[in-house]
Chain A
Amino acid sequence: MMDKNNSYELICYNTDDSGMFGEASRVVFPRDVEDVIKIVFDSQDLVPRGLGSNVVGGCVPSNSVVVDMKNMNEINFDFKSEIVCVGPGVTIKELNEKLKQINYEFPIICNGTIGGIVAMNRPGLMGGYGNIKEWIEEIEFVNGRGELTKFGKAEIGEVCGLEGITGIITKIKLKVIPLVERSASIFQSNDIEEVFVVAKRLRLEKHIVMLRFYSPYFSKLLGFPEKYHIIVGFDNQNGRIKGNDYADLFNKIRKDYYKIYEKGYRDSEDPKFLFEKLKEFVLFLNKFNVPYSGDLNLGIIYSFFNDDLKKKEVVKMIDRMNARPGSYGVGLKRKKRIDNLQKKIIRRVKLRHDPFLKFNKGKLIDIEHDSAEENKDIKKDLLKIDSSLSPNKGMKKSIEDAQLEEVGNVSMKDNLDDRVDKKLMDRILFNKEDQEESNK
Chain B
Amino acid sequence: MKTEEYNLKEEIKEEVANALRNGIDNEGCAVFRVMRKEHYSPKGKAIILNNDFYEKIIYKCNLCRACGDGLCDSFQKARRVLVLKDKEMNANKEMIDNLKRTGNIYGIQE
Contact = CB atoms under 8 A, between A and B. Distances in A.
Interface in A215-263: 255, 257-258, 261-262
Contacts of A122: none
Contacts of B38: 9, 12-13, 27, 49, 52, 68
10 contacts: A12-B41, A12-B48, A14-B47, A19-B21, A29-B36, A68-B38, A111-B27, A255-B25, A258-B23, A261-B21
The 7 A-B residue pairs with the shortest CB-CB distance in the complex, in nearest-first order: A12-B44, A12-B38, A70-B36, A8-B53, A261-B22, A12-B39, A9-B39
Interface of B: 21-23, 25-27, 33, 36-39, 41, 43-44, 47-48, 51, 53, 55, 57, 68
A319 B34 CA distance: 43
Contact of B51 (A8, A93, A111): A8
Nearest to B18: A262
Given A51-B27, A71-B36, A91-B27, A258 B48 contact: no
A387 B51 CA distance: 56
Of A6, A8, A262, chain B has the most CB atoms within 10 Å of the CB of A8
Contacts of B26: 51-53
- Consensus secondary structure, chain A interface: mixed
Contacts of A51: 26-27
A112 B43 CA distance: 14
Contacts of B21: 19, 261, 266
A415 interface: no
A9 B21 CA distance: 20
A262 B22 contact: yes
A284 to B, nearest CB: 26
A111 B27 CA distance: 8
Interface string A336-373: 00000000000000000000000000000000000000
A258 B57 contact: no
Given A8-B55, A255-B25, A261-B23, A94 B33 contact: yes
Nearest to A94: B33
A73 B47 CA distance: 25
Interface in A60-96: 68, 70-71, 73, 89, 91, 93-94
B13 to A, nearest CB: 14
Given A68-B36, A261-B21, 13 more contacts: A6-B55, A8-B51, A8-B53, A8-B55, A9-B37, A12-B44, A15-B47, A17-B23, A27-B38, A29-B36, A52-B38, A68-B37, A91-B27
A111 B44 CA distance: 16
A49 B37 CA distance: 11
A257 B22 CA distance: 9
A261 B70 CA distance: 15
Nearest to A71: B36
A11 interface: yes
Contacts of A262: 22
A327 to B, nearest CB: 16
Nearest to A259: B22
A257 B23 contact: yes
A262 B27 CA distance: 19
A378 to B, nearest CB: 43
Nearest to A51: B26
B36 A73 contact: yes
Given A255-B25, A258-B23, A262-B22, A11 B37 contact: no
A11 B25 contact: no
A93 B30 CA distance: 13
Nearest to B53: A8
A93 B26 CA distance: 11
Nearest to B26: A51
A51 B42 CA distance: 12
B49 to A, nearest CB: 10
A35 B36 CA distance: 17
A11 B27 contact: no
B47 A11 contact: yes
A7 interface: yes
Q: Find the residue from A14, A68, A70, A91 having the highest chain B CB count within 10 A.
A: A70
Contact of B36 (A6, A27, A89): A89
B4 to A, nearest CB: 23
A29 B37 contact: yes
A27 B68 CA distance: 27
A11 B36 contact: no
A125 to B, nearest CB: 14
